[in-house]
Amino acid sequence: MNAKTALAIAASLSLLSITSAKDVDLSKLPPPSDQKDVTYEKDIKPILDQSCIKCHGPQKPKAKLRLDSFEAVLAGGHDGKVIEPGNSAKSMLVINVAHAGDKDDWMPPPKNKLNIQPLTSAQIGLIRAWIDQGAK
């Protein structure tokens, strides 16, 4: 690949990133929880087990995204990483469960077949705190 092609690809990706960021309504994000020492095993896994694992578990995970283990969450899925440790407001997991971005990406989807209810503000706040604290 020559430098001109690489520059064009980089510019396209940058534009795509800017467009995606415009579609996110950060005002819809609940604030991070004040809880300290939030961990995946103790605090986050129970939330994901209740609301996400039916579609993002080991059997045919949608978008190749598994949320049933710490390592799987960090790995992300078909569209890349879903958390950005240290920055929950830029983490797709938070944006999608808070219904702050593209309606097609909302999790759980409205009117889903399994009748899984949206996460509460407190649950999203706890996920935000976990990510902001480094996602451990």
Residue 77 inside a domain? The answer is yes
Tell me the CA distances in angstroms from 65 to 35, 60, 78, 102, one per residue in order: 27, 9, 7, 18
Residue 11 inside a domain? The answer is no
Quote the number of domains for the chain: 1
pLDDT, one tens digit per residue, over 14-59 is 334 433 455 888 999 999 999 999 999 999 999 999 999 999 999 9
CA 32 to CA 73: how far, in whole Å?
A: 19
Predicted confidence (pLDDT) at residue 6 exceeds the cutoff of 80: no
Residue 20 inside a domain? The answer is no
- Tokens at 110, concatenated: 């409205």
CA 127 to CA 118: how far, in whole Å?
A: 14
Rounded to the nearest integer, the mean pLDDT of the chain is: 87
Residue 7 inside a domain? The answer is no
Residue 49 inside a domain? The answer is yes
Residue 45 inside a domain? The answer is yes
Residue 41 inside a domain? The answer is yes
- Are the CB atoms for 62 and 56 separated by under 8 Å? yes
CA 23 to CA 126: how far, in whole Å?
A: 23
- Are the CB atoms for 135 and 90 separated by under 8 Å? no
Stated pTM of the model: 0.82
Residue found by looking up tokens 């978008």 in the block: 63
